């Protein structure tokens, strides 16, 4: 029987880099918490003032592009899947294939802490 409670395991950015092939400037998850194997996890991203996309989106009122928020969520889900399966080889890869009913409630701006809840 699988436990449905969050584990006390917290993956930092180095642990996430062991799971995902993404690297700066395209790694958008810095920490993974509330991990329930094969079920759910929460990704965290501290949105810094010096993120490269803020130079052009938008210079006078910086907003994180929605497509990058979706990418961060996909990375959260991918890290959860790879962690849950215990994959460690260099040829592991998980593809993001679909998202339904995505909604953005408010803009993500420099200085925000983005919390990305991924649930099966």
Q: Known catalytic residues?
A: 57
Q: Which residue has the tokens 């996309």?
A: 53
Q: CB atoms < 10 A from the CB of 73, how many?
A: 21
Token pair listed for 106: 């408010």
Contact 96, 19 (CB under 8 A): no
Q: CB atoms < 10 A from the CB of 13, how many?
A: 14
Helices (runs of H) and strands (runs of E) counted in the chain: 2, 3
């Amino acid at each position: 029987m699988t436990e449905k409670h969050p584990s006390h395991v917290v993956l930092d950015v180095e642990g996430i880099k062991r799971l995902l092939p993404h690297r700066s400037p395209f790694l958008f998850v810095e920490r993974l918490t509330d991990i329930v194997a094969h079920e759910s996890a929460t990704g965290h991203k501290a949105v810094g003032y010096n993120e490269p996309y803020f130079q052009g989106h938008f210079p006078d009122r910086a907003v994180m592009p929605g497509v990058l928020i979706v990418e961060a969520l996909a990375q959260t889900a991918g890290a959860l899947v790879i962690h849950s399966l215990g994959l460690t080889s260099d040829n592991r890869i998980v593809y993001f294939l679909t998202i339904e009913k995505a909604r953005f409630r408010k803009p993500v701006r420099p200085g925000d802490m983005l919390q990305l809840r991924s649930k099966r």
